[in-house]
Amino acid sequence: MARPPLPIGTYGSISTEKIGGGFRACTRFRDHDGVTRKVERNGATPAAAKNRLREHLRDRAQQGPRDGLNGDSRFSVAATEWIEGVDRLVVQGQRSPNTAQLYRLNLDTHVLPALAELRLREVTVPRLDRFVQTVQLHKGSATAKIARTVVSGVLGLAVRHGAILSNPVRDVGRIVSTPARQPRALTQDERHEWVTRLHGDRDAVRKDLPDLCEWMLGTGVRIGEALSVSWEEVDLADGTVEIDHTLIRIKGVGLIRKTTKSSAGERTLRLPAFALSMLRRRKLAAGGRGPVFPDSAGGWRDPSNTSRDLRNARGSAEFAWVTSHVFRKTAATEMDRAGLSARQIADQLGHAKVSMTQDRYLGRRAVDRQAADALDRAHRDAKREGDEGVSAG
């Protein structure tokens, strides 16, 4: 009767022999693919050679391969497999293309130059801690957090493959961010002056910035959401707009229109009267087809290029701090001033967590008349104060 094979991940008796100035320890190990192989390690003494061999066999037993990954696989190999998995999630609609692009950029720029050639078993907590601290020192906390997320994803894949026992990123020191700046919104006077400035700027008018800014002030939507709205999503009779898409540019792909990044972002907003009036005027002029805020060719408008146009329109240092997100914060602040709850404001902005709204925007996905009324009052008050200022002058 044939001798039964060794159980997978185990080895037989260890023998030693003298070689040159030291000793070699040998045994036969049954690998995770079922093949029994001769394994050997050298040492200065028989005991040292045996200890080195046992240590290797222990790691080899714990780090068996699955789909080719094991403890001796390079970090770069696991990273390639991980980022390809992220890309597949994008295709399946389970991950944002923008997120995948951000991960890939961080992986190529920061993670792989530092960790690519390490074996997975060599990616230890001390090494990762030094890496994260270095990125934070030279590139800032935000970049360091993304790098940590990327490394955690790669090593999480390695754990699932059985290449390493646990994810060392869990024990890496906490990344301490600098305190966030207090959210700043336009005051009534600043709001009126800003809109007036845009209407008086020929280049800004040519680039359709006045109406776009009024739209963001009247809805609180993100710039990508604002530019992705089509006439099919606007109901002028009911006074509502469906916000369920955004526009982003993906390197190597181009401008794409995708669904919002979360279910909370899919919402129906009731529009303030001034925004409805503006839409009716635009629909008469444009025919009511395609994007509400198109580019010069009538297609979707690039958010990045539009943000650059806004920067150019800021003019003096007085409005140097104004970005498209300031309009969003201004809308949130006006609703807060009008007495709306944080939940109502979060639903208007498309935030799943009220804490996000309270912490970063104040300075349910339900259609809410109060939100539209508050934004409408803010528009009228700003206009009235501006007109009174002109009369007094």
| Residue 2 falls inside a structural domain | no
Q: Which residues pair with 269 in a beta bridge?
A: 241
For the chain, the average pLDDT equals 87
Do residues 388 and 195 touch, judged by C-beta distance below 8 A?
Answer: no
Residues 224, 344, single domain; the answer is yes
Residue by residue, DSSP assigns 104-151 as HHHIIIIIHHHHTTSBGGG--HHHHHHHHHHHHHHH-HHHHHHHHHHH
Residues 213, 357, single domain; the answer is yes
CATH of the domain at 108: 1.10.150.130
Higher local confidence (pLDDT), 41 or 32: 41
**Mean pLDDT (whole number) for 259-266:** 73
| Residue 179 falls inside a structural domain | no
Residues 254, 281, single domain; the answer is yes
Q: How far is the C-alpha of 4 from the C-alpha of 106, rounded, in Å?
A: 50
Confidence band of 393 (pLDDT split at 50, 70, 90)? low
240-247 contacts at long range (C-beta below 8 A, 24 or more positions apart): 240/268, 240/269, 240/270, 240/271, 240/367, 241/268, 241/269, 241/271, 242/267, 242/268, 243/219, 243/267, 243/268, 243/269, 243/350, 246/222, 247/300, 247/301, 247/302, 247/303
How many domains are contained in the chain?
A: 3
| Residue 181 falls inside a structural domain | no
Lowest mean pLDDT among 68-77, 136-145, 196-205, 292-301: 68-77
pLDDT at 181: 64
14-23 as b/e, with b when 16 or more CB fall inside 10 Å? bebeeeeeeb
Check pLDDT > 70 for residue 261.
no
pLDDT at 6: 84
390 class by beta-carbon count within 10 Å (0-12 exposed, 13-18 middle, 19+ buried) = exposed
For the stretch 225-244, pLDDT in tens is 999 999 999 999 999 999 99
Confidence band of 5 (pLDDT split at 50, 70, 90)? confident
Domain that holds residue 250: 188-392
Any idea what DSSP says for residue 44?
A: S
pLDDT at 118: 94
Residues 96, 146, single domain; the answer is yes
Check pLDDT > 50 for residue 80.
yes
Where a domain ends, among 142, 171, 200?
Answer: 171
pTM: 0.64
Q: How far is the C-alpha of 215 from the C-alpha of 353, rounded, in Å?
A: 24
Lowest mean pLDDT among 143-147, 261-265, 330-334, 337-341: 261-265
